[in-house]
Structure 1
Amino acid sequence: MPINIASLAITPQMLSLIAEIDEFKGAWRALGTLAPDRLSALRRVATIESIGSSTRIEGSKLSDSDVERLLSNIEIQNFATRDEQEVAGYAEVMETIFASFDEIAPTENHIKQLHRDLLAHSSKDARHRGSYKTNTNHVSAFDAEGKEIGVVFETATPFDTPRLMVELVEWVNKTLDQKQLHPLLVTAIFIVVFLEIHPFQDGNGRLSRVLTTLLLLRSGYVYVPYSSLESVIEASKEGYYLGLRRTQGTIRSDAPVWEPWIIYFLQSLRQQKSRLEAKIKRERLMTQRLPELSVQILELAKAHGRITNSQVVEVTGANRNTVKKHLQMLVSDNHLVQHGSGKATYYSRV
Structure 2
Amino acid sequence: MQSFRALGRHLDLIPAAINRQLSEIDIARGRQEAFARQHPAALESLQQAALIQSVEASNAIENITAPKKRLEEIVAQKTTPRNRSEAEIAGYRAVLDTIHSSAAHIPFTANIVRQLHRDLYQFAAQPGGNWKVSDNIVTEERPDGSVAVRFTPVSSYETPGAMDELHQRFNETWEADHHHRLLLAGAYTLDFLIIHPFADGNGRMSRLLSLLLLYEGGYEVGRFISIEKLIERSKETYYDALAGSTVAWHEGEHDLQPWLSYFLGVLTAAYREFEPRAAAVTSGRGSKAELVKTFVRSNISDSFTFAEAKRAAPGVSDEYIRQVLRQLRDAGIIEGTGAGRGAGWHRLRRDF
Q: CA deviation at 1:82?
A: 1.6
Runs of 5+ unmatched residues, structure 1: 306-311, 318-347
Task: Letter of the 1:11 partner, please give it.
Answer: P
Q: Give the paired residue count.
A: 301
Contact 2:47–2:223 (8 Å) recurs in 1: yes
Partner in structure 2 of residue 224 of structure 1: 222
CA 1:28–1:167 in 2, change beyond 3 Å: closer, same or farther? Answer: same
Contact 2:221–2:270 (8 Å) recurs in 1: no
State the alpha-carbon separation in 1 of the partners of residues 321 and 110 from structure 2.
Answer: 56
Q: CA deviation at 1:86?
A: 1.1
Partner in structure 2 of residue 308 of structure 1: none
Contact 2:43–2:281 (8 Å) recurs in 1: no
CA 1:192–1:46 in 2, change beyond 3 Å: closer, same or farther? Answer: same
Spell out the pairing of 1:255-270 with structure 2 (5 A cutoff).
Answer: 255-270=253-268
Pick one of 75, 80, 84 that aligns with 1:71.
75
State the alpha-carbon separation in 2 of the partners of residues 34 and 115 from structure 1.
Answer: 36
Contact 2:231–2:266 (8 Å) recurs in 1: yes
Contact 1:49–1:64 (8 Å) recurs in 2: no
Q: CA deviation at 1:34?
A: 5.3
State the alpha-carbon separation in 2 of the partners of residues 259 and 265 from structure 1.
Answer: 10
Pick one of 53, 61, 65 that aligns with 2:65.
61
State the alpha-carbon separation in 1 of the partners of residues 98 and 282 from structure 2.
Answer: 29
Q: Structure 1-normalised TM-score?
A: 0.79
Q: CA deviation at 1:246?
A: 1.3
Pick one of 242, 247, 250 that aligns with 1:249.
247
* Structure number with bigger Rg: 1
| Corresponding position: 1:22 with 2:35 | no
Partner in structure 1 of residue 323 of structure 2: 316
CA 1:23–1:297 in 2, change beyond 3 Å: closer, same or farther? Answer: closer
State the alpha-carbon separation in 2 of the partners of residues 17 and 83 from structure 1.
Answer: 36
Pick one of 190, 193, 197 that aligns with 1:192.
190
Q: CA deviation at 1:303?
A: 7.4
Task: Letter of the 1:106 partner, please give it.
Answer: F
Q: CA deviation at 1:173?
A: 0.5
* Coordinate RMSD, CA, aligned: 2.7
Which consecutive segments of 4 or more residues in structure 1 shift more than 6 A? 300-305
Contact 2:55–2:92 (8 Å) recurs in 1: yes
Partner in structure 2 of residue 141 of structure 1: 140
Contact 1:7–1:257 (8 Å) recurs in 2: no
User: What is the percent sequence identity of the aligned residues?
Assistant: 29
Partner in structure 2 of residue 207 of structure 1: 205
CA deviations on 1:167-187 (whole Å, 9 max, x unpaired) are 110111001101021100000
